[in-house]
Amino acid sequence: MSSRHPFSQSIFENCLVVIPIWNESASIKTVVQSIKEKYTVDVLVVDDGSTDNSGDLAEDAGAEVVRLAMNMGAWTAIQTGFRYALLKGYTVVVTMDGDGQHFAESIPLLIKQLATNQADVIIGSNPERASRNRRISWAFFRMLTSFDLQDFTSGLKAYNDRAMTLLLRPRAHLFDYQDLGTLLLIRRAGLTLCEVPVPMQKRLYGSSRIFFNWWQVIRYMMLSTVLCLSKYRH
Amino acid sequence: MIPFYNIITAFLGVCTASVIIVLIRKDKLSVNYSLWWGILAAGLIIFGLAPKLSDYIGEMLGVHYPPILIVIISICLLFIKLLFMDIHRSTHEQQIRILTERLALYEKENSKKCAQKSHSSRINRK
């Protein structure tokens, strides 16, 4: 643990960092090393059917790696992380992206907020990183869902065991991302959500895996709108 | 005398029923779906052999052009069937995802145990 950081090692007890990846060989080693160099915390990389050597690179960097038999999507990879965490006795999971957007320093911040706010889920928020169009779409979803959140698509989140158990139920297995659908489910179950501002940077390599062309953006908007409308005041 | 085209319809109904039975026999179709297709085949046979039945039912329901009743009922049934198929597919998707997650964890545990076994057998040999 770095002496520069004000957090004691004890906050990482029973904490697991889960990083879902799909073909992130260009950045995953850097991401895992940046965590391992700063903190003594367990890191689990869930390889979502990568066709490159992302999983091997993550293992070399010191992470535990679980490999899905086929590409199932980021949310299934995260749920695999939840399953692993509960099986091994972890009570807190922090999810991060494997593309280098998130800083390792945000991990203890989220864990501390989980305890301070007595929340079940903490969202690491950075609306400044979003384009104008994305911010407009978030405002639209804010209106539909009555969520008072600034960042709907952040992959940096902390979950406690109550939230993980909820999100492993069969009904949580039809979502594709850890965004609107999961947030609505969490709210419906009466769990507490909090948002915390964190710094983020642009992804180190490549482009978005979700919004990689306009058809995907339109499809995402339409499906998310239907989801919000079907679960209005849910 | 039953018109020829009605005999054809009834024949199609018999063929449908036969195909369903053969598919079940060869384990290509689950018997759970046989009821739906059996009703379809029965409908083809009944309306094939008794075409006036659609006129009678149509008049009872106030349908101005009774033959369209069969078409409308068929389309409605197809919509319902498609909806049920999507519901079942969604359930299967849930199950596949859960299985994939659990499989990944079992494979990891298994590879760990294999590595431990080969490590201890190497030590024993020394």
Tens digits of per-residue pLDDT, A92-109? 999 999 999 999 999 999
Contact A170 B98 (CB under 8 A): yes
Query: How many helices, marked H, and strands, marked E, lie in chain A?
Result: 8, 7
Whole-number pLDDT of residue A3: 39
Whole-number pLDDT of residue A1: 36
Contact A72 B94 (CB under 8 A): no
Contact B104 A170 (CB under 8 A): no
Crossing angle (nearest 10°) for helices B67-125 and B34-49: 160
Tens digits of per-residue pLDDT, B9-27? 888 888 888 888 888 778 7
**For testing the chain A interface, which of B93, B101, B111 should be mutated: the one with the most A CBs within 10 Å?**
B101
Residue A200 · residue A129 · CB < 8 Å: yes
Answer whether B108 touches A (CB < 8 Å): yes
- Please report where in the chains the tokens 């983020």 appear, as a residue: A200
Residue A160 · residue A92 · CB < 8 Å: yes
Whole-number pLDDT of residue A7: 58
Chain B CA closest to residue A46 = B104
Q: Which of B4, B94, B97, B10 is nearest to A69 (CA)?
A: B97
Residue spans of the domains in chain A: they are 12-230
Across chain B, which distance is largest between two alpha carbons, in Å?
94
Q: Which of A194, A173, A144, A10 is nearest to A78 (CA)?
A: A173
Q: Average pLDDT of A43-68?
A: 96
Contact B108 A76 (CB under 8 A): no
Whole-number pLDDT of residue B58: 87
Of the CA atoms within 13 Å of residue A54, those in its CB half-sphere come to 25
Question: Tell me, what amino acid is at A50?
Answer: S
Whole-number pLDDT of residue A9: 67
User: What tokens does B8 get?
Assistant: 């054809």
Partners of B105 on chain A (C-beta within 8 Å) are: 66, 80, 83-84, 87
Residue A5 pLDDT > 50:
no
Looking at domain A12-230, does it have CATH number 3.90.550.10? yes
Partners of B108 on chain A (C-beta within 8 Å) are: 64-67, 84
Chain B CA closest to residue A168 = B98
Residue A61 pLDDT > 90:
yes
Q: What angle do CA A156, A160, A162 make, to 5 degrees?
A: 130
Q: Shortest Cα distance from A165 to chain B (angstroms)? A: 13
Whole-number pLDDT of residue A74: 93
The listed range with the strongest mean pLDDT (A85-99, A163-177, A215-229, B67-81) is A85-99
Of the CA atoms within 13 Å of residue B47, those in its CB half-sphere come to 22
Q: Which of A142, A148, A188 is nearest to A167 (CA)?
A: A188
* Interatomic CA distance for residues A202 and A38, integer angstroms: 21
Q: Which residues have CB under 8 Å from A142's CB, separation 6+? A: A148, A149, A152
* Interatomic CA distance for residues A114 and A121, integer angstroms: 7
Whole-number pLDDT of residue A6: 54
Partners of A69 on chain B (C-beta within 8 Å) are: 100, 103-104, 107
Whole-number pLDDT of residue B2: 73
Whole-number pLDDT of residue A92: 96
Q: Shortest Cα distance from A48 to chain B (angstroms)? A: 10
Residue B106 pLDDT > 60:
yes
Which residues on adjacent β-strands are paired with residue A94? A17, A158
Coil vs helix vs strand at A47:
strand
- B44 vs A191, higher pLDDT: A191
Tens digits of per-residue pLDDT, A95-149? 999 999 999 999 999 999 998 888 999 999 998 888 888 888 899 999 999 999 9
Using a CB–CB cut-off of 8 Å, the residues of A that contact B are 46, 64-70, 72, 76, 79-80, 83-84, 87, 170-171, 173-174
Q: Which residues have CB under 8 Å from A27's CB, separation 6+? A: A98, A99, A100, A203, A204, A205
**Nearest Cβ partner of B100 from A72, A84, A87?**
A72
Tens digits of per-residue pLDDT, B30-81? 877 888 888 888 888 888 888 888 888 888 888 888 888 888 888 999 999 9
Question: Mind giving me the DSSP string for A103-138?
Answer: -TTHHHHHHHHHHHTT-SEEEEE-GGGS-HHHHHHH
Tens digits of per-residue pLDDT, A64-79? 999 999 999 999 999 9
Q: Shortest Cα distance from A170 to chain B (angstroms)? A: 6
Q: What angle do CA A5, A205, A150 make, to 5 degrees?
A: 60
Residue A209 pLDDT > 70:
no
Whole-number pLDDT of residue A35: 96
* Interatomic CA distance for residues B93 and B78, integer angstroms: 22
Q: Provide the pLDDT confidence category of residue A198 given band limits of 50, 70 and 90.
A: very high
Whole-number pLDDT of residue A215: 84
Residue A32 pLDDT > 90:
yes
Interface contacts A/B by beta carbons within 8 Å: 47
For chain A, helix, strand, coil in percent to 5 are 45, 15, 40
User: What tokens does A210 get?
Assistant: 């979700």
Partners of A170 on chain B (C-beta within 8 Å) are: 94, 98
Coil vs helix vs strand at A69:
coil
Contact A76 B93 (CB under 8 A): no
Partners of B93 on chain A (C-beta within 8 Å) are: 173-174
Taking all residues of chain A, what is their mean pLDDT, rounded to a whole number?
Answer: 89
Chain A CA closest to residue B102 = A80
Partners of B100 on chain A (C-beta within 8 Å) are: 68-70, 72, 76, 80
Whole-number pLDDT of residue A79: 97
